[in-house]
Amino acid sequence: MVKKELSSVDLRVLVRELRERLVGAKVDKAYQLGEKELFLRFYGRGAVDLVAAPNFLCITKYRRPAPKTPTSFAMQLRKRLKGEAVTDVSQHGFDRIVKLTLENHILMFEVFSKGNVLLTDKNMRILGLLEWQKWKDRMLGVGKEYAYPPSQTNPFEVDEKTFHDIMGASDRGVAGILATKFGLGGHFAEVVCRKAGADAKRPYSDADKAALWSAFSEFLGEVDGTVDPHLSEDNVTPFGGEGIGFPSFNDAVDEYFAGKENVRVEAEGEKASREKRQKILDILAKQEEALVRAEKDSDEERLIGDLLYERMDEISRAAARAKEGRKEGLSDEGILKSLTDFGFVRGVRGHVIVLDM
């Protein structure tokens, strides 16, 4: 299955790395890229760019063009946070919520569902946000106190008895319980099952309970231990696996999520450039066709002018004879017959002589 979002486990590892790189850095600029993607630039510890989307956040090496017109939220972030230093980066419990604490403000990144970024004061009063949202148990809007969603069980605070009680209270497969009740997500739930030698799809009652607790505890130790990030075509993980190794989990996340988004944006940009270039070429082709027609018309008009000039004397005499014929009461046909010796008169229509040059 293709990984589409960061799990709580991923964020626990990622937050440690973000804390190491962001604490002490100061906010420089803020951009909103699209409806739900935020880009923050920091200085003071070297240039550091943080990108946040509904399904991930990380320090990124991929810089995207800033929009020509900043959104009101981006302008608010610039005004309030410019020059403020980061004092802490933390995860709320084991939820997919990252708290970026600054000297005078707090940024909350909700990395689940539709995603959101909220700016609050030190008392957690919301000053601005990417999107107003109303949930069954809370409302997110300017002026309201930020309320966390109902928290899931934090596996790092669970003892053995509680673990077995939670596992035994569900009739789902072992992996399903680990994934949902303890927030491990599908991938890491299967990792624990493999460690315990348990069938991921079988109920908890069929599992070796001691082996499962041991594997669960061992896995949690690995989460807070040394990471071995790897990236494959459809997954990014802080703990080994297949694919390409990375020096940090953040770099692997950046390549997996931000790198893919960058490729998509570049592809769209190239497509837009091709379409724009084709429109310009079409316009130029039409202009060239119009120029050729104009030059042809100009040549024809120039030729007619030259012919008229060369035979002006004959034309004047023909016009005088036609005028006399009109005075004598001749019809158009009669006047035309009187002009046959000129050779270039093709018709007479009232006071107009039609010439064939």
Q: Could you give the domains of the chain?
A: 8-153 (2.30.310.10), 155-225 (1.10.8.50), 311-357 (no CATH)
> What is the helix, strand, coil percentage profile of the chain, to 5?
45, 20, 30
- pLDDT tens string 119-130: 999 999 999 999
| pLDDT at residue 278, as a whole number | 64
CA nearest neighbour of 52 among 118, 113, 109: 109
According to DSSP, the residues that pair with 357 across neighbouring strands are none
CA angle 13, 16, 19 (to 5 degrees): 150
| pLDDT at residue 89, as a whole number | 98
| pLDDT at residue 135, as a whole number | 87
35: helix, strand or coil: coil
Q: Measured between alpha carbons, how far is 229 from 239 in angstroms, rounded to an integer?
A: 5
CA nearest neighbour of 73 among 42, 108, 115, 30: 30
| pLDDT at residue 42, as a whole number | 98
- pLDDT tens string 70-112: 999 999 999 999 999 999 999 999 999 999 999 999 999 999 9
| pLDDT at residue 279, as a whole number | 65
The pTM of this model reads 0.73
| pLDDT at residue 273, as a whole number | 52
Segments of the chain scoring below 50 in pLDDT = 263, 265-269, 272
Q: Measured between alpha carbons, how far is 100 from 97 in angstroms, rounded to an integer?
A: 10
| pLDDT at residue 313, as a whole number | 75
| pLDDT at residue 331, as a whole number | 82
82: helix, strand or coil: coil
